[in-house]
Amino acid sequence: MLVQAGVTRVYGLVGDSLNAFSDAVRRSGTLEWVHVHHEEGAAFAASAEAQLTGRLAVCAGSCGPGNTHLLQGVMDAHRSGAPVLALASHITSTQIGTSFFQETKPEVLFAQASHYCELVSQPAQLARTARAAIQNAVGKGGAAVLVLPGDVLGADSAGSPPASALVASRPKPVPDEAAVAELAERINAAGKVTIFGGIGCAESRQEVLQLAAWLEAPVGHTLRGKDVLQYDNPYDVGMTGLLGYGACYKALHEADLVLLLGTDFPYNDFLPTRHNVQVDIDPARLGRRAPISQGIAADVGHTIRALLPLLREKKDRSFLDEMLREHEHAIGTGLEAYTHDVDHLVPIHPEYVAALVDELADDDAIFTADTGMCCTWAARYLTPNGRRRLLGSFVHGSMANALPMAVGAQIAQPGRQVVSLSGDGGLAMLMGELLTVKTHRLPVKVVVFNNSSLAMVRLEMMVAGDPPFETDHDMVDYAAIAAGAGFFTRRVTEPADLREAVGQVLAHDGPALLDVVTTADALEVPSHLTLEEARGFALSMGKIVLKGGVSEAWKLARTNLRNL
């Protein structure tokens, strides 16, 4: 069934209840088994492959702990809309319900992490349940799970599965004509219009830009929409949210009408609360983040194509020009302040690392970013161009995703440069996947932002008014660890050495790791800061000073003086 569906590999870790299946893979002559060192890594790798190719990817885990390890990555794939099939083997069927060794209830565990999760209790079920799982994963976008007891996997099948076509893509619903006409009336009546797009615009980029040109509308985007909408876009005003930059927040809140296109942006505090219209392929998303005046459950591209003939062209571009000037000013005084004249600052600024990686990486590089501050630097300093890709745990927010995602990306796209932007906390969590990279001789490049801190959590505590607690850890030489695993490595503590080291690591023909000692004091300051957040930060600084940490407070202020 997997071969019929076009699957070429399975990511997983062999073991006991899964052995009959892994042996079938061995004998298939068609499927490849990608040996990982943690089942969570298998699911992350499959998710990356599915997101890059748009095709079904498969991961597998053995019963009990194998399933619970697998669950985390499957949840991430599901929330990312990646078509992933997870094969969760189970204990022997006659032992189910007896609290047997390693027994869990996989159907319950994976229910929230999938569109479809079913137990296969006999071989005769398999053809239809496998078909249902595949079509749920591909047709709905997300994960599906087959729970497979070990004795069922080892039983004889009924023979070759029947040849039958499988769904190859998600449906694209067309908007209702009356809803399109209503939306056209709203747009024609509005003076200032702003477009805010997400990953749902991935196949409708040209339509979105055409709409922006017709309306003279600024275009903001989410992090997942950055790859799609930022590059070669004369209407771009950046991102909003915690990682935001530029004039997006202002453009959203000063518009007479906001078009939310293909986005389920979760941070409602950054969204306007009036005059919003939302277009999304999933009706469940309409209006759940911010109040809307109108919602259309349809494909973004189909909706715009139906809408354009009904719109009057807007000639006044004063609002657009104002937002573009605001955006340029924000970029120049905010983001660029951290990447100019910093080649002498120690510890190294992480923004400088990200900017150099962006400059020296290939034009078609695939970047994977860990959750946390790495995500901030990727969002703000990586430059999309229509050929590059950025993957991360942008919906589930899991730590340790970057390295295993890089594994899946490199295997799926062997001719492209793959760069993992790893935090030291994330790398430490799934460090065994360095061995996966080496085992499969993958030319993955790992850039470690080594600040000996869970810096995002550290910042969250300070914004809440608390001094950092249990966020910092020992300095570790990750370059030495990776060298022991057979990587080419460079460790950098001086900013003057950084450019050469980045170039050497990116150019190396094989696995390579760059360990950069960066400051933990670099702040992620969003484009819009609330009064409560500012008060909380000031309170935290006061507590630090009162505890005798004057030098720590001074160091933090000095590190971020440019942004102030």
Q: In the sheet that 193-197 helps form, which strands lie side by side, from edge to edge?
A: 245-246, 236-239, 219-221, 193-197, 257-261, 276-280, 294-297
- What the block records as the tokens of 72 is 């985390």
Closest CA to 449 of 523, 559, 553, 352: 352
For 482-512, what is each residue's pLDDT tens digit? Answer: 999 999 999 999 999 999 999 999 999 999 9
Cα 379 to Cα 390: distance, rounded to the nearest angstrom: 9
| Predicted local confidence at residue 334, as pLDDT | 66
Assess contact for 412 and 46: CB atoms under 8 A.
Answer: no
- Give the closest residue to 96 by CA, choosing from 108, 82, 114, 111: 108
> 345 vs 449, 455, 496, 535, 551, CA distance in Å?
15, 19, 9, 29, 17
Q: What is the pLDDT along the chain (564 residues), one digit of tens a residue?
A: 999 999 999 999 999 899 999 999 999 999 999 999 999 999 999 999 999 999 999 999 999 999 999 999 999 999 999 999 999 999 999 999 999 999 999 999 999 999 999 999 999 999 999 999 999 999 999 999 999 999 999 999 878 888 888 887 889 999 999 999 999 999 999 999 999 999 999 999 999 999 999 999 999 999 999 999 999 999 999 999 888 889 999 999 999 999 999 999 999 989 999 999 999 999 999 999 999 999 999 999 999 999 999 999 999 999 999 999 999 998 887 666 566 667 777 899 999 999 999 999 999 999 999 998 999 999 999 999 999 999 999 999 999 999 999 999 999 999 999 999 999 999 999 999 999 999 999 999 999 999 998 887 887 777 777 888 888 889 999 999 999 999 999 999 999 999 999 999 999 999 999 999 998 877 666 656 555 655 554 555 455 444 555 445 445 445 554 444
Q: 405-442, pLDDT tens digit by residue?
A: 999 999 999 999 999 999 999 999 999 999 999 999 99
